[in-house]
Structure 1
Amino acid sequence: MVDTFSDPIGRLMGLRYKSHPWHGIYLGKEAPEMVTAFIEVVPTDTVKYEIDKDSGYLLLDRPQKYSNVVPALYGFLPQTFCGELVGQFCSEKTERTGIKGDGDPIDICVLTEKDITHGDILVHARPIGGFRMIDGSEADDKIIAVLNNDVVYEGYKDISDVPAFVVERLKHYFLTYKDMPGKEANTEITHTYGREEAYEVIRCSINDYRKRFENLGKLLY
């Protein structure tokens, strides 16, 4: 598939129209080692925002029913798709059958010591690991990254470098953020994995995207 915003014509088109955050933003020439992430939610948000897949605008998904707030910048990786290959990789690592991708772009949490007060922004980030999360029977991986050139987190090269309490705080959020009063979410985190495995999840999601949206580039010309 053509990366429509990595070539001159694609870049000119991007000057005329706002790029769709999922399909119109280039993941980056150094991916998966360095990626461009679209941030939907920041730690000061008391509601959860999520990209509307049709329009590309932020949609108010739901108010947070409890006091938990996302402990880092949270969003997704453009031009990725949690599909067949991501599901297969999850099945291999968990030795479970019947797991499929959740049909969304790959989620990413970006650690930074800076106070960033609103979403709907792009950041450059370095993946250092992730959580193998399963929601029902669907793979819902959470890539953990650090903001590029961040003063505090720049030295972290792998999730094993991150303080344990930070990792546990992230886990707690993802295991509870879908809970509703009277109904608990059917989610679990089976593994915390390091940088190289995060790279492989991202590669799988890139290939899943190219397969799922193989004709998208043709429609833009």
Structure 2
Amino acid sequence: MYSNRDFNRWRRHPWHGLHIKADDAPEDIYQVYIEMTADDVVKYELDKASGFLMVDRPQRTTSSPPALYGFLPRTHCAEEVANLCPDVDVADGDPLDVCVFSERHITRADIILNARVIGGIQMIDGGEADDKIIAVLEGDNIWGDVHDIADLPKIKVERLQHYFSTYKLVPGKDVNIKVDHVYGRDEALRVIAAAEKDYWNHFGHLHEAAKREENA
């Protein structure tokens, strides 16, 4: 279990310590923490206890994510997110994943950026809701004017669907992953709102304890 001692005072925890967006940001602009780049064939993931980026596993295949891959701070996929996904009772219990398209090749992870949410993929992995929000880098010279997934070339979404449907494949074994439902901006914002609610339902006590400690 987490406690307020898990908040690293010297290096902000990307999940708990960062804000999901600036107070004056437009409705669809969010802050994203990037775990992987489009060059990575090793699965990097946030170590939730320490807040540092760790090696989760080497990928078995040569495929790499077709976009920057990370998550939205202070989100959690639990009951509220699962309620938006038919035929499942649970979500994966992780922060809400985000894929960010950028025209310029960003070559390093463990960074934060601002991105405009344009849609998402309702991924079901082993019977758990595991949505992938799709976004574009704010101010991008090619994709910066995209506001909904309908404005994005279809091949971009198809590559994401292919990656997430195959990145866990092992020869001779079946993988129970569905990535059939692609949704637009408005539904993506509802998924984000549900993930924010799940976060505060499960981890709000940490922030309350930290505030009490600061005021003591």
Shared fold (TM-score, shorter chain, > 0.5): yes
Query: Unmatched 5+ residue regions in structure 1?
Result: 1-12
Runs of 4+ residues over 3 Å off in structure 1: none
Provide closer, same or farther for how the CA distance between residues 202 and 144 of structure 1 changes in structure 2, counting only shifts above 3 A: same
SS at match of 1:27: coil
1:141-177 CA-partner distances (Å, limit 9, x unpaired)? 0000000000000111100111111111111011111
Q: Select which of 62, 66, 71 maps to 1:67.
A: 62
CA RMSD of aligned residues (A): 1.5
Asked if 1:129 corresponds to 2:119, the answer is: yes
> What SS is found at the alignment partner of 1:212?
helix
Deviation at 1:45, TM superposition (A): 1.3
State the one-letter code of the partner of 2:121: F
Is 2:68 aligned against 1:78? no
Residue 183 of structure 1 corresponds to 173
The amino acid across from 2:18 in the alignment is I
Alignment of 1:26 with 2:19, yes or no, is: yes
Residues in 1 aligned to 2:106 and 2:170: alpha-carbon distance in whole angstroms: 27
Name structure 2 gaps, 5 residues minimum: 1-6
Written as runs of structure 1 = structure 2, the 5 A alignment for 1:147-162 is: 147-162=137-152
Separation in 1, partners of 2:173, 2:138: 38
Q: Cα distance, 1:31 vs. partner?
A: 7.0
8 Å contact from structure 1 (residues 65, 181) kept in 2: no
- The residue type equivalent to 2:124 in the other structure is I
Q: What is the TM-score of this pair, normalised by structure 1?
A: 0.88
Q: Amino acid of the residue matched to residue 146 of structure 1?
A: V
Q: 1:176 to 1:126 in 2, by over 3 A?
A: same
Indicate the SS of the match to 1:74: strand
Q: After superposition, give the CA deviation of every residue in 1:79-103 in whole Å (9 maximum; x if it has no partner).
A: 0000101000112xxxx2x421110
TM-superposed CA distance for 1:67, in Å, is 1.4
The C-alpha deviation readout for 1:41-99, integer Å capped at 9, x for no partner, is 001112110001111111101111111111110000000000101000112xxxx2x42
- Other structure's SS at 1:50 match: strand
Secondary structure of the residue that 2:150 maps to in structure 1? helix
Could you tell me how far 1:183 is from its partner in structure 2? 2.6
One-letter code of the match for 2:39?
Answer: T
Contact kept, 8 Å, 1:130 with 1:193, in 2: the verdict is yes
The answer as to whether partners of 1:79 and 1:206 remain within 8 angstroms in 2 is: yes
* C-alpha distance 130-187 of structure 1, shift in aligned 2 (>3 A): same
* Aligned mate of 1:117, from 95, 107, 121: 107
SS of residue in 1 equivalent to 2:124: strand
Q: Would you say the 8 A contact 1:37–1:124 is kept in 2?
A: yes
How many pairs are equivalent? Answer: 203
Checking the alignment, whether the CA contact within 8 Å between 1:84 and 1:208 is kept in structure 2 is yes
Deviation, structure 1 residue 214: 2.0
Other-structure match for 2:35: 40
C-alpha separation in 2, matches of 1:101 and 1:189: 15
